[in-house]
Amino acid sequence: MTDAPIFDPHAWKLTDLEADMTARARALGKEKFADRAEKWDREAIFPTDNYKDMHEAGLLGICIPEEHGGFGAGMRAYCLSAAEIGRYCGATALTWNMHICSTLWTGTLADDLELTDEQRARHKAGRALHYKRIVEEGALYSQPFSGGGAAAAGFQPFSTQARSTEGGYIVSGKKIFASLAGHADYYGVLCTHIIEGKKPSRSDTLYLAIPAKANGVKVVGDWDPLGMRGTVSRTLLFEDVFVAASEELMPQGVYFQAASNWPHMFLTLSPTYMGISQAAYDFTVAYLRGEVPGTPPIKRRMYPTKQIAVAEMRVKLEAAKSLWFQAISEAQCKPSKEQVLRAYATNHLVMETANELCRLAIRTCGGQSMLKSLPLERLYRDSRCGSLMLPWTAELCLDRIGREALYEPGESDD
Ligand SMILES: Cc1cc2nc3c(=O)[nH]c(=O)nc-3n(C[C@H](O)[C@H](O)[C@H](O)COP(=O)(O)OP(=O)(O)OC[C@H]3O[C@@H](n4cnc5c(N)ncnc54)[C@H](O)[C@@H]3O)c2cc1C
């Protein structure tokens, strides 16, 4: 039997597409991903079987425009669906985000930007190639962004560099925590285009799809982390890799424009943790009712302390859901200052709430609930990772809210 939707389509007034996509995601999550999740986590291996199922269900192309064979979903439909997957397998939901951004950012999001006619034509021709690979071949894209310096937080140009050469670019550099390393078919790399005589600049960021099999691409190091173990976020090295110009995911300058004008694009890491929050709450209710499969049918719901703990969890869950739903609903190009502050607050709240709900769930359910035979201890470990995701870590969200609430653009105290 499938679980109730996190966001009931009628109560939250979802569109037909959103209701359909979330139902597909929830059915796959419950029927297939939930039972497999322990294996990916325990062995820190990539959920390849889940991706085969998602390709069959059309979910790899959820954000690809309909004329290219996808569902044409916007950011909200994607986020709601990813939350449903995150309930059952955090590593699948998080890696799905890396893949989906290659289509969401190049799709509806880029369509909102003010591009020159030349940029628009180049972008439209370029993205068709990527969409065809995903829809027809089930190609997986990843999103290695972090290089270990200040670039991933949005403060410096990316240290991975691309130099122009005949027919394309030569790319060199390193990406750490590259989810899907060794499993994606294309690495959607953000790198700085080095232009002779010009200082490296964030405005010259290139977003390139580097084929995993290209000469000079290496996956190195191990991956044995606390949580999100199935993401297999190993280190990627690019040693003078030739990348054809046709592999651009966005023409030069467009990523920078997107990051500046469509800031909610960085909120797409949060759905996984919205799903984990729901899962921690659902587990607690089922456990206290004596209904978790594989555990004795002992009821613990009659104790007032348990009832209060569940009530507190419910309040936190409802608050996170409501704020998150508002933020993903109002995501748009050139949002107001209020909307941007709300987006930071949302990301902070969802990432921290996921961990808080898992913590409360273990404390409330008790010792037997955190055995590795049950999903709660995995949820607990996975939930801790949300606040660490750059560029909008929980800390950086607070930094940004404080600064941007108190200073208007250009203001200083000097
Ligand atoms: C499970 C998982 C999967 C991931 N997958 C990917 C992926 O697919 N692609 C990808 O690109 N990255 C990915 N990341 C990486 C993530 O975004 C970070 O880059 C990573 O956690 C490494 O951070 P760090 O310790 O080097 O951060 P540091 O840069 O050392 O920062 C440490 C902390 O300091 C704070 N901080 C950083 N810069 C500043 C600043 N200028 N001012 C004030 N405070 C600051 C932040 O809160 C940050 O959390 C993943 C991370 C995890 C945990």
Domains of the chain plus CATH, in order, are 16-139 (1.10.540.10), 151-252 (2.40.110.10), 262-406 (1.20.140.10)
Residue 325 pLDDT > 80: yes
Which tokens in the block code for residue 179? 């989810």
Q: How confident is residue 373, by pLDDT bands cut at 50, 70 and 90?
A: very high
pLDDT average, residue stretch 11-22: 98
Q: Whose CA is nearest to atom 5 of ligand 1?
A: 179
pLDDT at position 126 = 95
What's the gap in Å between 388 CA and the centre of ligand 1? Answer: 5
Q: Whose CA is nearest to atom 8 of ligand 1?
A: 179
Q: What is the pLDDT of residues 355-370, one digit of tens each?
A: 999 999 999 999 999 9
Q: Is 235 in the pocket of ligand 1 (CB under 6 A)?
A: no
Q: Are 202 and 159 in contact (CB under 8 A)?
A: no
Q: Is 399 in the pocket of ligand 1 (CB under 6 A)?
A: yes
Q: Whose CA is nearest to atom 12 of ligand 1?
A: 146
What's the gap in Å between 389 CA and the centre of ligand 1? Answer: 5
Residue 1 pLDDT > 80: no
Which tokens in the block code for residue 151? 């670039």
Residue 153 pLDDT > 90: no
Q: Is 215 left (phi over 0), alpha (psi -120 to 50) or beta?
A: beta
For the CA of 152, the closest atom of ligand 1 is 19
Q: Which of 94, 105, 177 to mutate to test the pocket of ligand 1 (most atoms within 8 A of CB)?
A: 177
Q: What is the pLDDT of residues 163-177, one digit of tens each?
A: 999 999 999 999 999
Residue 328 pLDDT > 80: yes
| Nearest-angstrom CA–CA distance, 213 and 218 | 9
pLDDT at position 154 = 81
pLDDT at position 155 = 84
Q: Is 145 in the pocket of ligand 1 (CB under 6 A)?
A: yes
Q: Whose CA is nearest to atom 14 of ligand 1?
A: 177
Q: Is 149 in the pocket of ligand 1 (CB under 6 A)?
A: no
pLDDT at position 414 = 85
Rg of the Cα atoms in the chain: 21
Residue 340 pLDDT > 90: yes
What's the gap in Å between 224 CA and the centre of ligand 1? Answer: 17
Q: What is the pLDDT of residues 45-101, one digit of tens each?
A: 999 999 999 999 999 999 999 999 999 999 999 999 999 999 999 999 999 999 999
| Nearest-angstrom CA–CA distance, 170 and 215 | 11
Q: Is 101 in the pocket of ligand 1 (CB under 6 A)?
A: no
Q: What is the pLDDT of residues 128-141, one digit of tens each?
A: 999 999 999 999 99
Mean pLDDT of the chain: 97
What's the gap in Å between 149 CA and the centre of ligand 1? Answer: 9
Kindly compute the dihedral angle of the four CA atoms of residues 45, 51, 53, 56, in this order, to the nearest 10 degrees. -160
Q: Whose CA is nearest to atom 4 of ligand 1?
A: 177
Query: Quick one: which of 234, 138, 245 has its CA closest to 185?
Result: 138
What's the gap in Å between 122 CA and the centre of ligand 1? Answer: 32
Residue 151 pLDDT > 90: no
Q: Are 317 and 281 in contact (CB under 8 A)?
A: yes
Q: Is 148 in the pocket of ligand 1 (CB under 6 A)?
A: yes
Q: Which of 207, 226, 267, 393 to mutate to test the pocket of ligand 1 (most atoms within 8 A of CB)?
A: 393
Question: Is the pLDDT higher at 153 or at 115?
Answer: 115
> Taking the CA of residue 45 as centre, how many other CA atoms within 13 Å lie in the half-sphere pointing to its CB?
11
pLDDT at position 166 = 97
Q: Is 407 in the pocket of ligand 1 (CB under 6 A)?
A: no
Q: Are 62 and 70 in contact (CB under 8 A)?
A: yes
* Cis-peptide into 391, omega within 30 deg: yes
Residue 277 pLDDT > 80: yes
What's the gap in Å between 68 CA and the centre of ligand 1? Answer: 34
Residue 200 pLDDT > 90: yes
Q: What is the pLDDT of residues 185-194, one digit of tens each?
A: 999 999 999 9
